Amino acid sequence: KNQVEQSPQSLIILEGKNCTLQCNYTVSPFSNLRWYKQDTGRGPVSLTIMTFSENTKSNGRYTATLDADTKQSSLHITASQLSDSASYICVVRNGYNKLIFGAGTRLAVHP
Amino acid sequence: DAGVTQSPTHLIKTRGQQVTLRCSPKSGHDTVSWYQQALGQGPQFIFQYYEEEERQRGNFPDRFSGHQFPNYSSELNVNALLLGDSALYLCASSAMGQYEQYFGPGTRLTVT
């Protein structure tokens, strides 16, 4: 069954600290994996997209990793800011052009 | 260049009523997908339109229907509303064959 599981479900960190969000998937065949940031009540905004051959991709303070062998991805946020408070959603596209969404990790950055 | 736009931003309906949500895709995009996102959950795929036809459909009942117009804009219609239909409805556009999908701001539907 195609599934995307994210952990933790929610996370609270202090401003300036780093954090890592996890995504495990059982999607097959795999096409690509994306991380989205979604502010409350808004549409998701793409942070990174990674294909099978890519291990690491950065977008400013966001760095995503992909291990296609273990079917795991992580999103690392460096030097967190208050504006990083949002839900982070992992989305995997399968070979049939279907997107499978994770439930998201809700991150709260406190001053 | 305007991104994906949706209207209205917020809507309140009564159980049993019908609702129509609208979406205009990003310039240059010809494919529109609709998603339902319940509070605290990830988006659930409803259907996708390309060339004015429904190309893919998720696990949603026939109460959910859609349409795509020649200018690529799209509508989502929901009949016989249930309380459980309360959610954020997201529209996303893309160019057929391209990986990147851009989301609109969503329409918050509340069914009372």
pLDDT digits over B26-65, tens only?
Answer: 999 999 999 999 988 889 999 999 999 999 899 999 999 9
Q: Decide: helix, strand or coil at residue B85.
A: helix
Residues 71-90 in A contacting B (C-alpha not used; CB under 8 Å): 89
Contact at 8 Å (CB) between B61 and B78? no
Residue bearing tokens 């795999």: A30
Mean pLDDT rounded to a whole number for chain B: 94
Mean pLDDT rounded to a whole number for chain A: 94
Residue bearing tokens 């409803």: B46
Contact at 8 Å (CB) between A72 and A84? no
Are A32 and B4 inside 8 Å of each other by CB?
Answer: no
Tokens describing residue A82: 């208050």
Task: Name chain B contacts of A102, Cβ cutoff 8 Å.
Answer: 42
Are B106 and A42 inside 8 Å of each other by CB?
Answer: yes
How far is B47 from B65, CA to CA, in rounded Å? Answer: 9
How far is B63 from B80, CA to CA, in rounded Å? Answer: 7
- Nearest Cβ partner of B42 from A42, A89, A93? A89
A88 beta partners = A37, A105
pLDDT digits over A35-76, tens only?
Answer: 999 998 889 999 999 998 899 999 999 999 999 999 999 999
